Amino acid sequence: MKARITIWLMCAIAVLAWSGVAGAQTAPPAPKVQLPSGETVWNLSGDWDALIENYGPKVGGGTYPNVFRITQTGSEFKAIRLRDNPPPSVARAGSVSVRGELDKNGFKRVEIVRGTGDALLSKGQISEDAKKITLDDGFITRMTLTRK
């Protein structure tokens, strides 16, 4: 009787273990693109929700959302605004909002582009799963982009 219970118990454990392995979901790989040089960089192409925060001397510009569309060619990318920024900003839909270049560690160079066309050299960070980007020029603008 003990042998029969032990066998049934072992079978039940095996079935549970197998179903746990079979049902486990693996995280999708982070989006990457391989350059002709063989280097692999993030693929940032797509639509991103953007939260723009003005601070310092431009605090009067406030905090507001937008949507950016990033297009990437090799390691270079640019983002355009899909909606007008609210007044007092002069940034209109279709204008460039961010541009830069990637390397294997993230950003090689990144600039926040104001509505006036001025480019502000910025620091940026890409999350491990490439679903969030934070940008800050260190003086007037901070942006948080979240992949849609």
Residue 29 binned pLDDT confidence (cut-offs 50, 70, 90)? low
Of 5-9, 37-41, 87-91, the range with the lowest mean pLDDT is 5-9
Residue-number span of the structural domain to which 23 is assigned: 2-28
Are 77 and 9 contained in the same domain? no
- What pTM did the predictor assign? 0.79
pLDDT of residue 13: 74
Give the chain as a 3 state SS string.
CHHHHHHHHHHHHHHHHHHHHHHCCCCCCCCEEECCCCCEEECCCEEEEEEEEECHHHHHHCEEEEEEEEEEECCEEEEEECCCCCCCCCCCCCCEEEEEEEECCEEEEEEEECCCCCEEEEEEEECCCCCEEEEECCCCEEEEEEEC
Are 84 and 108 contained in the same domain? yes
Are 55 and 108 contained in the same domain? yes
**CATH code for the domain in which residue 78 is found:** 2.40.128.120
Are 38 and 11 contained in the same domain? no
Of 3-7, 16-20, 86-90, 138-142, the range with the lowest mean pLDDT is 16-20
Tell me the pLDDT tens digit for each residue of 80-128.
999 999 988 899 999 999 999 999 999 999 999 998 899 999 999 999 9
Are 22 and 83 contained in the same domain? no
